[in-house]
Amino acid sequence: MPEISRYAVVEKTAKLAADVRVGPFAYIGPQAVLGAGCVIENGATIVGQTTLGAKCHVFPMAVIGAVPGQAGQVGRCVLGEANSIREHVTLSGGLEAPTRIGNDNLIMIGCQIGPGASVGDHCIITNCTQIDGGATIEDYVGTSAFTFIAPGAKVGMYTYIAGYTGIEGQAPPYAMVQGYPARVRGVNSEKLRRCGFGDDDIRALKEAFRELFNGAGAQADPDVLRRMAGEASLNVHVRRLVEILQAGAGGRSA
């Protein structure tokens, strides 16, 4: 039996795995599905067509699945496993596409994630990060405080976004991005090392970044990009970077 506080409200049709814990004054809506080992702390709200995978921890006062400004509409929100949703976080439910959160993410206090946004796996989203509707955050991304990610923007994997940075358009993978308008400042080498990238890979990425974003760091140099794409023996990660930058060539790179 789930362990439900006498002061929690859990709607009859909500589906809770056997060992879910729900704290006092929490509200679990009728279409919520909570996987094994989920902990919903006091005052948290889960509404809409919302699914939480196993071992998600929702901290006090977080709100998951509500549709902003659309009373009566039911949004969709899908969370994977082992996510930590900290105090006062808002994960909006999506109406057209569901809001998706992958696995093993830490979403810190006061973050707001808009309807239809998508966050990959193993991301660390720091306090007060604003991820707008339809934005895409790939795997292993880190953000710092007060980061703003515009509607429909995309942040590539392993990228770190510094504090107070605004991303409109696309942030490349493997990068450190900072400022508003955002600039590529270098390679997120510490994260890559922690994720098991070899020294050769990191060196190759650093050299590629230096050539591509030399100068202002606002946009990849199209000539260098074309030359690199033509090179036969390119590091696998650099190849990936080049392909992503070429695919996104229509918009701003950061």
Partner 1 sequence: MKDLTVIREIDASARVAAEATVGPFCVIGPGVTIGPHTVLTRRVSVSGRTIIGSANIIEEGCVLGSSPQDLKYAGSSTMLIIGHRNRFGPRVTAHIGTEAGGGLTRIGNDNLLLDGCHIAHDCFVDDHTVLGREVLLAGHVLVQSGAVVSDLAGAHHFTTIGRYARVGPRTPVRRDVPPFTNFCGEDHEKLPPAVRGVHENGMRAAKLSPGEEAELRKALRELFEDETALQTKIEQLVNMGVEGEAAALCEFCQHSLQGVYGRYRELLRGQMPPEALRYLPPDLISLWRNKA
Residues binding partner 1 (CB under 8 A): 5, 7, 23-25, 41-43, 59-61, 86-88, 106, 108-110, 124, 127-128, 145-146, 162-165, 178-180
> CB of residue 117 vs partner 1: minimum separation in angstroms?
21
Task: Identify the bridge partners of residue 85 per DSSP, sorted by sequence position.
Answer: 58, 107
For residue 61, give the 3-state DSSP assignment: coil
Structural contact between residues 106 and 121, judged by C-beta atoms closer than 8 angstroms: no
> CB of residue 49 vs partner 1: minimum separation in angstroms?
26
**Alpha-helical runs (H) found in 17-70:** none
Give CA–CA dist 238/254, Å, rounded. 17
122's CB contacts (< 8 A; 6+ apart) are 102, 103, 104, 105, 139, 140
> CB of residue 200 vs partner 1: minimum separation in angstroms?
27
Question: Tokens representing 174?
Answer: 């493997």
> CB of residue 5 vs partner 1: minimum separation in angstroms?
7
Query: Which residue do the tokens 């880190």 mark?
Result: 142
> CB of residue 50 vs partner 1: minimum separation in angstroms?
22
Give CA–CA dist 14/82, Å, rounded. 20
Specify the residue, 161 or 204, whose C-beta has the smaller distance to partner 1.
161
Specify the residue, 78 or 128, whose C-beta has the smaller distance to partner 1.
128
76's CB contacts (< 8 A; 6+ apart) are 48, 49, 50, 65, 93, 94, 95, 97, 98, 99
b/e map 41-79, b = 16+ CB within 10 Å: bebbbbbbbbbbbbbbbbbbbbbbbbbeeeeeebbbbbb
Question: Tokens representing 209?
Answer: 């970044």
Specify the residue, 95 or 109, whose C-beta has the smaller distance to partner 1.
109
Specify the residue, 42 or 246, whose C-beta has the smaller distance to partner 1.
42
> CB of residue 69 vs partner 1: minimum separation in angstroms?
21
Specify the residue, 86 or 237, whose C-beta has the smaller distance to partner 1.
86
Cα 133 to its chain centre, rounded Å, is: 12
Specify the residue, 61 or 117, whose C-beta has the smaller distance to partner 1.
61
> CB of residue 127 vs partner 1: minimum separation in angstroms?
5
Specify the residue, 23 or 133, whose C-beta has the smaller distance to partner 1.
23
